[in-house]
Structures are given as structure tokens and as C-alpha cells.
Amino acid sequence: MSNPVRVQIIEDDDGMLRALRVNLQARGYEVEVAADGATGITMLSRNPVDLVILDLGLPDIDGVDVITGLRAWSSVPVLVLSARQGDADKVQALDAGADDYLTKPFSIEELLARMRACLRRAITVETSAPIVHTEAFTIDLQHMKAIRAGADVHLTRLEWGIVETLVRNPDRLITGRQLLTQVWGPAYVDATHYLRVYMMQVRKKLEADPSNPRHFITEAGFGYRFVP
Ligand code: CA
């Protein structure tokens, strides 16, 4: 048997904590639990895990501060849970170094899919498949080509930058700031209007129905997600 994937859950809601533990253990994950931020950080410092599931609303330390503290010494993937409907805390969490977020209530299947995406990202940053197929188009990362209906699609340098960044991170939320920094450069980190315009162009060129995209999904207020 291969080593089980180890997950640290930091969550103060007792019912949620139990439900997560039972469901993840049933799927073969090894689960550690902490009911507050200080305990969670202490456990992580003593016993590294493969993934952290972190509730943002904790009784002692704000979840965003837990991430900031953790990121000083660890690059472990962090999946944030938030009960709040407001967006500010999720944006703060992503900026502080969280990898993705889920808003409560969420289905266990959605949680598992996000966990897999976070773990895949952590393991395969350098080794993602050179050719990615969707039902609408194919992206050849090695040869920097986009193909639709058997024909090459011309993408500008910036359009390609967006496509490549998203396609290399399937199912994973990429924030607007991450995309702008990656494709345009750090000076453009707040130029979100560029992103909207270029994303529209990318969809026109690649999506079967650009006004109803299936693969380049907008997560309003947060960023974008490529769904293969
Ligand atoms: Ca809570």
C-alpha cells in the first residue's frame, strides 16, 4: 500500500469537523484535526501534512493570519472554507497564499475535487501533460499551439500567456492578480480590466459558445478556472 495522503483540518465547528473527518477517512485520507488556529499551527509545525483545510472563522486567530504565519515556512497547499458570503475575506486569504476556497455549504464531492486539484498542483507543477484536450479545442503546451476543429488558432503572446497559465493548472482557481503578474508582469497586478478584455478574446477563439464558456470559467471577484 502506498502512503496515505495526510490532511490537517483546522475548523472550530464540531459538526463540520466530524463530517469532514469521517468522509475523508472513508476515502483513505489520514486526517489530523484542530479546533482553533494556534493548535493547528502547532500541530503543523510538529507534523507536516500534504494538504491543509482551513476554516477562516476561527475562535482565536483569524484564518488569514494562520495562512500568513504558515506561508513564512511552508508551501503546503491550503484549501480555505468560508461561511461568510462576503468576498473580502476570501480575496485576502488567496492573496495571503491560500490555494483555493469553498463557501459553505458545499458538497463532499466538490471538496474532494478541489483537494485533488490542490494536491495535483503541488506535485506536478513541472510535469503537466504537454497536450491538453477538451471537447472544444486542444492545447499543445510544448509547441505553444492551440487547435480547434483541426485548424491552428492564432493566439497573441498575451492570449497564449493566459491560456497556458490556466491550462497548466486544471480545475484550480487562478486569481486575477496571479494571472496579471504571470502574464503582464508585477506592475500590472491591479489591471483587471485588461484581463476581462483578453479573456473575452480567448473565449471567442476557443470556446464553442463564447458567451456561455465551458472551459475558461470566471469566478466573479476572484479570478478564473480552467475546466478540461
Ligand atoms: Ca468557524
Specify the range with the lowest mean pLDDT, choosing from 20-29, 110-119, 127-136: 127-136
Distance from Cα 12 to the centre of ligand 1, integer Å: 5
Q: How much distance in Å is there from the Cα of 47 to the middle of ligand 1?
A: 23
The pLDDT-based confidence of 55 (bands split at 50, 70, 90) is: very high
CB 34 within 8 A of CB 10: yes
Model confidence over 80-105: pLDDT tens digits?
A: 999 866 777 888 898 888 999 999 99
pLDDT band at 188 (very low <50, low <70, confident <90, very high): confident
Report the separation in Å between the CA atom of 80 and the middle of ligand 1, taken as the mean of its atom positions: 11
Q: Taking 60 as the threshold, does the pLDDT of residue 123 lie above it?
A: no
Q: Which three cell numbers stand for residue 22?
A: 469521517
What separation in Å is there between the alpha carbon of 141 and the centre of ligand 1?
A: 41
DSSP-assigned letter for residue 162: H
H helices present in 107-156, as ranges: 108-124
**Cell (9 digits) for 219:** 469566478
- Ligand 1 mean position to 77 CA, how many Å? 20
Say which CATH architecture domain 131-226 belongs to.
Orthogonal Bundle (1.10)
Question: How much distance in Å is there from the Cα of 174 to the middle of ligand 1?
Answer: 25
* 177 pLDDT above the threshold of 70: yes
- Measured distance CA(146)–CA(138) in Å, rounded: 6
> pLDDT value at position 2?
62
pTM of this structure? 0.65
Output the CATH code of domain 6-121.
3.40.50.2300
Dist. CA 69 → ligand 1 center (Å) = 19
Are residues 159 and 200 in contact, defined by beta-carbon separation less than 8 angstroms? no
Q: Where in the chain is the domain with CATH 1.10.10.10?
A: 131-226
Start-end ranges of CATH 3.40.50.2300 in the chain?
6-121
